[in-house]
A and B are shown apart, each in its own frame.
Chain A
Amino acid sequence: MALLRVESVSKHFGGLEALKDVSFSLHEGQVKALIGPNGAGKTTLFNLISGIDRPTSGHVFFRDKDLGRLSPHVASRLGVGRTFQHSKVFDDMSVLDNVKVGRYARGHAGIFSAFLTMPRHRREETAVADASLRTLRRVGLGDRAHESAGNLPVGDRHLLEIARSLASEPTILLLDEPAAGLNNEETAQLAEIVRRVRDDGVTILLVEHDMGFVMDISDEVVVLDYGKKIAEGPPLMIRNDPEVIKAYLGEDL
């Protein structure tokens, strides 16, 4: 059975139909790309999957749970992790503390055990620090752990968001334009990291405008245009789909 099922999802903002009757599904271990021109509704769809927004109609099922009815923190606890197109790094917190917040859902210490720093709390803190550092190393930011996150260059901010989300040990990871602002070398590095994450068993849905990156890394591609799904299939097929080419008219696929 599919891990994630988007079923006839529509989303209206006032008169604007940002998504129209979109359906597709995602299997465990897949890397799927969601592409489409600006304003196609990609981020809107991510917001529905991560519980930040509600579909106007239709459903998003994660296993048997309807994500469209759940809050973001519940979606996260179920195993949906995400990064943001417009960086939402916790500036002026350390890089490591950012990732530690990502570890939140795996911890238990409440406010009273924090007040009293009970032994259980201290053990958990040590475990959180270790796990967070390990996660940072996974994305190659291990040696920047104690810097202020606000000082990171754009590319590293994406990586930090990925690490922060990975720290919560998601089943599925949504990446919203992770390669934006990266040079070729950094993009190649990112592709490598994404592949490793996939190999660790995380299912990935990513939005990206960098077609080289998309074609290189994804098993399947879904194309949105003006809120409608216009194509779905393996990268090679998408690259030659006349409708997709029309939507991207003038752009080199």
Chain B
Amino acid sequence: MPILAFLRRHVWYIAFSIVILSAPLFTGNIYYLSILAFMATRLMIVLGLNLLMGQAGQISLGHAAFAGIGAYGSAIMTTRWSMDPWLAMLLSAVLAAAVAGLIGVPTLKLKGHYLAMATLGFGEIVYILLVQLKWLTNGTDGIGGIPSLTIGSIDFGNAQMFHWLVWGVALLMLRISLNLVDSRVGRSLRGLHRAEIAAMSLGVNTSFRKVQVLMVSAVFASIAGSFYVHYVHYVSPVSYTIIFSVILVTTVVIGGLGNVWGAVWGSALMILLPEYLKRYNQDYTQLVFGVMLILTMIFLPGGLVSFRTLVAKVRERFRGSRAGPVTGPEPRGGS
């Protein structure tokens, strides 16, 4: 039964899709739907960064800027040049990919973490440009009046419709990320992460693959930025600072490197937690993130997605040898 085998192989993905896509059927509450929408755009960025960090072992400290390219690209092209939003989204993504390529080619040829440094600088430059190029970006005032997305007569300004659109795209990105992990290219990325010279000697053009995955992650981030601004109809530079880049990297680590589902866990936590903390005191958010990052690295090096291993370990300790070895399979990237 190929259909049964298919269902079994993708059970987690299917279950998650059903749950998330049915959410608007249960609530029309704009606040809740907005949180879910932000979770979707966040997930898009984190998925790309998860591939870059978890698979290829490269760190980008400039992913806020790639999201910023999408956000501002869409904002400027639709409000100032009255361009079609979908075309603007596409062009912004192409621009983000091109910039990622320009940064990646010289830095990823070298071993070590040159990419982290280069993207850190790049993030700073983009932020400064967003603030300073007032004639184009309107400086710190930001750009308002960004139109909603439409397809024919369907208006995605409606929160429920937008939910289906943005989650449809996020789920698609999740799917293709899971597919990538379980492929020739995915394996080559994990290989080059562990022993680059060995991967090269097996025929992997390692710098090409690294640049490629950086470009993919830039496109994911850019698309997320575009969707975001078409939802909130406004953009300003404060959303795209280095702080946001650091939060993105934190999200990947807390969620779990090396497992695509970690991006889902991480994004959910990092969107929901601040919403929850907001009720008490907003100032604590960064602090809580920092503490969580440290706790994760100490107690859960595989990230949230590996909590099963932790649970198993704790249980083993309590039960002693009676429990026997822990054999539950980890949720792998390909499920």
Residues of chain A touching chain B, judged by Cβ–Cβ distance below 8 Å, are 50-52, 71-73, 75-77, 81-82, 84, 88-93, 97-98, 100-105, 107, 109-111, 114-117, 121, 124-125, 128, 161, 164-165, 167-168
Known contacts A76-B200, A168-B203: A90-B180 contact under CB 8 Å? no
* Complex Cα gap A59–B195 (Å): 27
Residues 182-216 (chain B) with a chain A CB within 8 angstroms: 183-188, 190-191, 194-195, 197-206, 212-213, 216
* Complex Cα gap A146–B183 (Å): 17
Point out the residues of chain A lying under 8 angstroms from B205, CB to CB: 71, 73
Known contacts A73-B205, A76-B203, A168-B203: A109-B191 contact under CB 8 Å? no
Residues of chain B touching chain A, judged by Cβ–Cβ distance below 8 Å, are 176, 179-180, 183-188, 190-191, 194-195, 197-206, 212-213, 216
* Complex Cα gap A183–B212 (Å): 44
* Complex Cα gap A100–B176 (Å): 20
Among residues of A, the one whose C-beta sits closest to the C-beta of B203 is: A105
Contact B185 A101 (CB under 8 A): no
Contact A111 B197 (CB under 8 A): no
Given A101-B199, A109-B185, 12 other A-B contacts at CB below 8 A? A52-B200, A71-B205, A73-B203, A73-B205, A93-B191, A104-B187, A111-B180, A111-B212, A116-B179, A124-B184, A128-B184, A161-B198
Instruction: With both chains docked as a complex, state the minimum distance between the C-beta of A99 and any C-beta of chain B, in angstroms.
Output: 10
Contact A72 B197 (CB under 8 A): yes
Known contacts A52-B200, A84-B198, A101-B199: A90-B190 contact under CB 8 Å? yes
Contact A102 B202 (CB under 8 A): yes
Point out the residues of chain B lying under 8 angstroms from A114, CB to CB: 179-180, 183-186
Give the residue of B179, B186, B190, B201 whose beta carbon is less than 8 angstroms from that of A52: B201
Contact A88 B185 (CB under 8 A): no
Among residues of B, the one whose C-beta sits closest to the C-beta of A124 is: B184
Point out the residues of chain A lying under 8 angstroms from B186, CB to CB: 114
Contact B180 A115 (CB under 8 A): yes
Give the residue of A76, A97, A105 whose beta carbon is less than 8 angstroms from that of B187: A97
Point out the residues of chain A lying under 8 angstroms from B190, CB to CB: 90, 93, 97, 101
Question: A71, A82, A111, A161 — which one has the most chain B CB atoms within 10 A of its CB?
Answer: A111
Among residues of B, the one whose C-beta sits closest to the C-beta of A117 is: B179
Contact B183 A101 (CB under 8 A): no
Known contacts A90-B198, A114-B184: A104-B179 contact under CB 8 Å? no
Point out the residues of chain A lying under 8 angstroms from B206, CB to CB: 73
28 A-B contacts (beta carbon < 8 Å): A71-B200, A72-B200, A73-B200, A73-B202, A75-B201, A76-B201, A81-B201, A81-B202, A84-B198, A88-B195, A90-B191, A90-B199, A93-B187, A97-B187, A104-B184, A104-B204, A105-B202, A105-B204, A107-B184, A111-B185, A114-B180, A115-B179, A117-B179, A125-B184, A164-B198, A164-B202, A165-B201, A167-B202
Among residues of B, the one whose C-beta sits closest to the C-beta of A110 is: B185
Among residues of A, the one whose C-beta sits closest to the C-beta of B193 is: A90
* Complex Cα gap A164–B212 (Å): 24
Contact B176 A88 (CB under 8 A): no
Instruction: With both chains docked as a complex, state the minimum distance between the C-beta of B121 and any C-beta of chain A, in angstroms.
Output: 27
Instruction: With both chains docked as a complex, state the minimum distance between the C-beta of A136 and any C-beta of chain B, in angstroms.
Output: 15
Contact B185 A90 (CB under 8 A): no
Among residues of A, the one whose C-beta sits closest to the C-beta of B199 is: A101
Known contacts A73-B203, A109-B185, A111-B212: A101-B179 contact under CB 8 Å? no
Question: A52, A91, A101, A109 — which one has the most chain B CB atoms within 10 A of its CB?
Answer: A101
Point out the residues of chain A lying under 8 angstroms from B200, CB to CB: 51-52, 71-73, 76
Point out the residues of chain B lying under 8 angstroms from A93, CB to CB: 187, 190-191, 194
* Complex Cα gap A102–B201 (Å): 9
Instruction: With both chains docked as a complex, state the minimum distance between the C-beta of A83 and any C-beta of chain B, in angstroms.
Output: 9
Among residues of B, the one whose C-beta sits closest to the C-beta of A50 is: B201
Question: B202, B206, B213 — which one has the most chain A CB atoms within 10 A of its CB?
Answer: B202
For the complex of A and B, the 6 pairs showing the least CB-CB separation, nearest first, are: A105-B203, A114-B183, A88-B198, A72-B200, A76-B203, A115-B176
Among residues of A, the one whose C-beta sits closest to the C-beta of B208 is: A73
Point out the residues of chain B lying under 8 angstroms from A90, CB to CB: 190-191, 194-195, 198-199
